[in-house]
A and B are shown apart, each in its own frame.
Chain A
Amino acid sequence: MKFNKTFDRALWVFHLNTGSCNGCDIEIVAALTPRYDVERFGLKLVGSPRHADVLLMTGPVTRAMAPRVERIYRQTPEPKVVMVIGNCGCSTGVYYESYNILGPIDKFLKNIDPDVKIIYVPGCPPRPEAIIDATAKAWLVLEGLRGDA
């Protein structure tokens, strides 16, 4: 089928921790709980990046995780959006210029794929409401990809 707007109603999410302290991970899982419940927007957590549309990345990219992040990014089928959650991913946060960090996620991913679509959710950790708001921004990005905007 052609890429149309029903795509936004069923985004499947893969969660990838690139070296974070797990604070943002807890907030992501909290977004799935009854109080915030992102499943009502159609988002579902999947176990394999091959099924995913949105890659939720948390944490700055540590040296050890770098090749793995690259492989997982490449293994995700198009069309995809990357949602960077937390200050560490957006701008390395408190780990600024640490010896073990290869930079914020966008700098790392733009080396791999210059057309990567990234949504930034700053916060340490960001509230689940911010993650839900980011979903709406993801829809805008997807509209742009479709050319409908």
Chain B
Amino acid sequence: MSFLDTHGAILTIIVPLFAAFLMPLLGKLSQKAPRFLAAGALALSSALAIRLAIQVWDSGTIVYTLGSATGTIFRIQLIVDGMGIFMALIMAIVSLAVAIYSWSNIDRYTGQEKYYALLLLVTVGSYGMVLTGDMFNLFVFFEISSISLCGLVAFRSQRGESFEAAFKYMLYSTISGVMILFAIGIFYGQYGLLHMVGISNAMAVNGSTMLDKIALGLLATVFAMKAGSVPMHMTTPDAYGEAPAGITALFVAASQAGLYALFRTGFTIYSSGMNMTTLGWVLIVLGVLSMFIGVTMALVQSDIKRLMAYHAISQTGYMLLGVGVGMAVMADPVLMAQYGVDAMRGGIFHIINHAMYKGLLFLTAGAIIHRMGTSDLNEMHGLGRNMKWTAIMFILGALAIAGLPPTNGFSSKFIIYESVYQFNPILAVIAMLVSILTLASFVKVFYSAFLGPRPSKPVKEAPASMLLGMGIFSAVIVILSLFPGFIIEKIVDPAVSALVPGVELTPLSSGFFPSTIITGDGFWSVLVFIGAFVSIMIIASLIRSMGNKGFTKRKGMGQPYYFGNRVTASARVSGGNVYWGFLKAMERYYKPVKAEHTGDANDYVAWLLITMAVILAVVVFL
């Protein structure tokens, strides 16, 4: 076993950590050097993560011990199994793309070495959260990533709102940290252990006590908050909206580390001692609320990054729904084989899909803001002529998030629908409705940013490093879209078996076409769809070419028809005002929901505590 084989796990965490500590020194040397160090360190750690992934898929779970080799005290273990490495892979891709993207994104700011140092620390925090096997270690890395993210949210310090958003995020993170510490105290007090598997074994002996259930309620609420689920989602739009665009993409991946922690708590620690149906239902309810409230609030936003942040909340709902259904039927092997496993596969596949396309969308939003100078949808127009690459990548991301075939968003949503409707068809109906609302919302953003009259001063295409960062995400999305069955077998199935050990996984893709997905209930093949679409497109172009091709240019023929009048600037339907009909029809829903999003930090904390109380009551007494 080579050095990298034995120490790969810890190196993935240490490399960015050392680079982060070197960063301020490098910043004193030159302005430009930090970005290369950051990119280099993250490239190295991404490579290590991928190597670790291959190792785990080939030889099974890796356990790496820091400290004494025996005994349970003075020892921290890193346990890298399928689920952990899945999340680490996501972090690998996202962090590298963001580091490259940030070269141009924050070029005009000073204090860049601080930015890169905090970026590396967020990566360290997320890698640590997903690779560790010890509860207190999880808490430490949770705090590292939260504090670094607070700093990064406030990075654009010329805007007052950045500080306000950072403060609110810090408020939430601190309360969450205290609650996690309390739960860890419960574990330590009862069992004298902080090791996840150890706690799980100890709970299996006597069943879980009331104190354990209290700890479960606290942990579930806190980790769901980090992932951004309703009704604890209040700081998410603020924080995502105010952070620089690259950081928001990283934020998405870091939030999913919170989702990972939630699943780890539910499946690994608690499933040995108690029936998980109640927690499964809690996750399902949170998921449905997040999906629906997230997307309906997104429809009324007029700021591009806040809109996308609400969509991040909504997509988190899909993941909670899928895995929640799996958790709810975990105890019943028949139902689990019928649809529970597929639901979990869909939910977990959605995690990587979401990180990729949401990251891409945030990066394109950053490119638009960079060139246009504003993030208000009402003020930007007409970028589709000059920013063609950005527009194409935005279209890819928007199709993926809406779940339109043949993108990877469709594949994961397909699996979620096919399995969730057997559990309860109402959930699948809401999921499908949310998908179309997502599509409508992104058509609105596309119209505001890329279509419309020419901008008043000419804009150029986004800078090369931004395009490279976005290109990394696009390439991964294309790979995930073309070969979903293969990816699920290689990457998602190990994660599912890590969470629910001993479950049988029927193969998902049929032999020749590695891009077909066959669940127990339906079938979908990407390559055939793309082939059919392209060949019919060729036929359509042939038909169209039978028509009269062009027009002789005459004066005045290209002006839009506006009942004979000239189209002035005020005649344009601005992006924030579309979909009036829908908003009017849903007035009775929107009034209370919009009123609840007050922007007041006190209300935010109140929501968090109320939800915590409700979940505690449900988990402890039901």
Question: Which residues of A51-95 are within 8 A (CB) of B?
Answer: 65, 67-72, 74-75, 77-78
Instruction: Judge if A149 is at the interface, Cβ distance under 8 Å.
Output: no
Decide: B561 and A72 in contact? CB cutoff 8 A.
yes
- Min Cβ gap A45→B in Å is 16
The verdict on A70 contacting B551 (CB below 8 Å), with A49-B561, A75-B561 known, is no
- The complex places the Cα of A72 from the Cα of B564 at a distance, in Å, of 6
Q: Which residue of A48, A67, A72, A74 is within 8 Å of B555 (Cβ)?
A: A74
Decide: B556 and A1 in contact? CB cutoff 8 A.
no
Q: Count how many chain A residues have C-beta atoms less than 8 Å from C-beta atoms of the other chain.
A: 15
Note all chain B residues with C-beta closer than 8 A to A49: 561
User: Which residue in chain A gives the minimum CB-CB distance to B551?
Assistant: A77
- The complex places the Cα of A77 from the Cα of B556 at a distance, in Å, of 11
Decide: A68 and B565 in contact? CB cutoff 8 A.
yes
Question: Which residues of B550-580 are within 8 A (CB) of A?
Answer: 551-552, 554-557, 559, 561, 563-566
- Min Cβ gap A51→B in Å is 10
B-side residues, CB < 8 A to A, are: 546-548, 551-552, 554-557, 559, 561, 563-566
Decide: B556 and A74 in contact? CB cutoff 8 A.
yes
Question: Of B554, B565, B566, which is in contact with the most chain A CB atoms at under 10 Å from its CB?
Answer: B554
Note all chain A residues with C-beta closer than 8 A to B566: 71
The verdict on A69 contacting B546 (CB below 8 Å), with A74-B557, A75-B556, A75-B557 known, is no
Decide: B555 and A71 in contact? CB cutoff 8 A.
no
- The complex places the Cα of A50 from the Cα of B566 at a distance, in Å, of 16
A-side residues, CB < 8 A to B, are: 1, 48-50, 65, 67-72, 74-75, 77-78
- The complex places the Cα of A71 from the Cα of B564 at a distance, in Å, of 6
Given contacts A71-B564, A71-B565, A71-B566, list 16 more A-B pairs with CB under 8 A.
A1-B546, A48-B561, A49-B561, A50-B561, A65-B564, A67-B564, A68-B565, A69-B564, A71-B556, A72-B561, A74-B554, A74-B559, A75-B556, A75-B557, A75-B561, A77-B551
Decide: A75 and B559 in contact? CB cutoff 8 A.
yes
User: Which residue in chain B gives the minimum CB-CB distance to A47?
Assistant: B561
Note all chain A residues with C-beta closer than 8 A to B547: 1
User: Which residue in chain B gives the minimum CB-CB distance to A2?
Assistant: B548
- The complex places the Cα of A77 from the Cα of B558 at a distance, in Å, of 10
Note all chain B residues with C-beta closer than 8 A to A78: 551-552
- The complex places the Cα of A120 from the Cα of B559 at a distance, in Å, of 28
User: Which residue in chain B gives the minimum CB-CB distance to A76?
Assistant: B557
Report the 10 A-B pairs with minimum CB-CB distance, sorted nearest first.
A68-B564, A74-B556, A74-B557, A72-B564, A71-B564, A75-B561, A48-B561, A75-B557, A1-B546, A49-B561
- The complex places the Cα of A1 from the Cα of B552 at a distance, in Å, of 16
- Min Cβ gap A102→B in Å is 15
- The complex places the Cα of A69 from the Cα of B563 at a distance, in Å, of 10
Can you identify 15 A-B contacts, CB atoms within 8 angstroms?
A1-B548, A67-B564, A70-B556, A71-B556, A71-B559, A71-B564, A71-B565, A71-B566, A72-B561, A74-B555, A74-B559, A75-B559, A75-B561, A77-B557, A78-B552
Note all chain B residues with C-beta closer than 8 A to A1: 546-548
- Min Cβ gap B410→A in Å is 35
User: Which residue in chain A gives the minimum CB-CB distance to B563?
Assistant: A68
Note all chain B residues with C-beta closer than 8 A to A70: 556
User: Which residue in chain B gives the minimum CB-CB distance to A68?
Assistant: B564
User: Which residue in chain A gives the minimum CB-CB distance to B566?
Assistant: A71
- Min Cβ gap A65→B in Å is 8
Note all chain A residues with C-beta closer than 8 A to B559: 71, 74-75
- The complex places the Cα of A68 from the Cα of B561 at a distance, in Å, of 10
Note all chain A residues with C-beta closer than 8 A to B555: 74
- The complex places the Cα of A67 from the Cα of B556 at a distance, in Å, of 11
User: Which residue in chain B gives the minimum CB-CB distance to A49?
Assistant: B561
